[in-house]
Amino acid sequence: MHYILAIDQGTTSTRAILFDRSLRPVASGQEEFPQHYPQPGWVEHDPADLWATVAGTAREAMERAGATSDQIAAIGITNQRETTLLWDRATGQPLHRAIVWQDRRTADLCADLKAAGHEPMIRERTGLLLDPYFSGTKLKWLLDNLPGARSRAEQGELAFGTVDSWLIWNMTGGKVHATDATNAARTLLFNIATNAWDADICALLDIPMALLPEVRDCAAEFGVTRPDLFGGVSIPILGVAGDQQAATLGQACFQPGMIKSTYGTGCFALLNTGKDRVPSKHRLLTTIAYRLNGQTTYALEGSIFIAGAVVQWLRDGLKLIREASETQPLAEAADAAQQVVVVPAFTGLGAPHWYPECRGAVFGLTRNSGPAELARAALESVGYQTRDLLEAMRADWQAEAQGVLRVDGGMAASDWTMQFLADILGAQVDRPVVTETTALGAAYLAGLQAGICPPPEDFAREWSLQRRFDPEMAEDRRTIIYSRWKRAVAATMSA
């Protein structure tokens, strides 16, 4: 058993990475898949695309490494969270496209639930806000809008799941309908204090509990793959975590006060709060960081909807670049005297604002503003939004937070962006040797359950720094430009 296979099913692409027993990446496969936008503010994925890219990239990674299924000790899964699927238990066929976490179609429903006074109860039990981001209102929309869906759900004919459950179902040939505690905690239906589905919230949303998967630890038995899937030998699925929680594990943020921030399609910062379930007074989320051996570790989380997606907007929307890597030289060439600010609220603003109705805006344009200035402002927006999150975290967390931010994800590869992040935060930013920490976290969970990987405290000692970015910006400059950002956000929200 030479390898651990990590499957990282993301919002715009799927990646599979084969790690050796020392958790060094050996080979990988990656494939993008289509995004569907049937109406403004709606975002969907074809469930068949999610499954096909997982199977395809896993086989590709195995082929590149020359690995066979009998050489793989375990599979770990990490996934885009909150994305909602509903399928037929008998046939395995989805009833609708997956409704993606970015989708805003249930904004009116969330507003109605808030107006009726339900948010305090939901927040106390789930740690979440009433926002279209989460799975519960998406599932209600499916049951309300698909003919016969609710009656079939009540009869036990249908299954709900986030992407991890969908993949486990397909990998095991429909034998296992399960999720882990971190994904369950993002549904709006899971009580993070009792670690169980909440019957009251399900009743409020008129969701039959027969739909829901079994909730297990992050490192646990999730069944075995169909023998024919990867070449004749079944592989055990031993680790599952939502992408941001997997990145927290991959960054070895096991101690209370440690913070990591992942820069993918969105940006997600997690602060480990240990055994303390810290309620936020600054509109952050209280969530489960991980659950191992039945013990729950909590976190404060700030969610930014648009991070790497702002670079995709430059590429696909404005056609200013052909490759994401072009943004750094453009930003370096931008006129420093210009004051262009991009507020990338393309699907609303996430934490700490939680304003789903507002949309993106650009401020400070002049006749001399061009691609370079827009590219710089787009990259800077990620740093500004991160500071918004970390200021809210420091206000909520009474204990001493560590003064270092560990970063990962695609945008972490940009030296310019990471230096600006350190500058605007006034804090050290650490980039690890292995920046694919989401997949690393999934592999670690699977290896831990398989008895291959060391316990968390030993794994933490193996974390390696690739580069540290120290703040270089003067404090008065930092104050001025961050104030400009806050004015731009306020104007965007009032438009």
Cβ atoms of residues 438 and 262 within 8 Å: yes
Give me the phi and psi of 419, to 5 degrees please. -70, -40
Q: How far apart are CA 187 and CA 83, in angstroms?
A: 9
Locate 242 and state its tokens. 């939502």
Is 15 within any annotated ligand binding site?
yes
Alpha carbon distance 47, 487 (integer Å) = 40
Q: Is 243 annotated as a binding residue?
A: yes
Measured in whole angstroms, how far is the alpha carbon of residue 168 from the centre of its chain? 18
**261-286 CB burial, b ≥16 within 10 A, e <16:** bbbbbbbbbbbbbbeebbebebbbbb
3-state secondary structure at position 348: strand
Residue 11 annotated in ligand binding: yes
C-alpha to C-alpha distance for 161 and 87, rounded to whole angstroms: 9
Structure tokens at 119: 């948010």
Task: Check whether 426 is labelled as a binding-site residue.
Answer: no
487 is in an annotated binding site: no
Q: How far apart are alpha carbons 105 and 279 in whole angstroms?
A: 27
SS3 221: coil
Cα–Cα distance between 136 and 162 in angstroms, integer? 11
Q: According to the annotation, is 225 in a ligand binding site?
A: no
The C-alpha torsion from 70 through 71 and 77 to 78, rounded to 10°, is -160
> Is 406 annotated in some ligand binding site?
no
User: Any known ligand binding at 13?
Assistant: yes
Phi, psi at residue 111, to the nearest 5°?
Answer: -65, -40
Query: Is residue 161 a known part of a binding site?
Result: no
Which three-class secondary structure state does DSSP give residue 363?
A: strand
* Residue 410 in marked binding region: yes
Phi and psi torsions of 421, nearest 5°: -60, -45
String of DSSP letters for 93-123: -BSSPEEPTT--TTHHHHHHHHHTT-HHHHH
How distant, in Å, are the alpha carbons of 46, 421, 429, 430 from that of 475? 48, 14, 17, 20
In angstroms, rounded to a whole number, what is the distance separating the alpha carbons of residues 166 and 397? 35
Which residues of 172-236 form beta strands (DSSP E)? 178-180, 190-191, 196-197, 214-216
* Sign, CA torsion 392/395/396/401: positive
Name the DSSP class of 305. S
Q: How distant, in Å, are the alpha carbons of 139, 313, 326, 349, 350 from that of 266?
A: 22, 13, 19, 11, 10
286 has binding-site annotation: no
> What are the structure tokens assigned to 226, written together?
């169909």
Q: 143 and 206 in contact (C-beta within 8 Å)?
A: yes
Which H helix or E strand runs over 154?
Answer: helix 149-154
265 is in an annotated binding site: yes
Was 244 annotated as part of a binding site?
yes
Q: Which residues are annotated as a binding site for sn-glycerol 3-phosphate?
A: 11, 81-82, 133, 243
Binding site per annotation, positions for glycerol: 81-82, 133, 243-244
Annotated binding residues, as ranges? Answer: 11-13, 15, 81-82, 133, 243-244, 265, 308, 312, 410
Q: Which amino acids are annotated as binding site for ADP, given as ranges? A: 11, 15, 265, 308, 410
List, as residue ranges, the binding site for ATP: 11-13, 265, 308, 312, 410
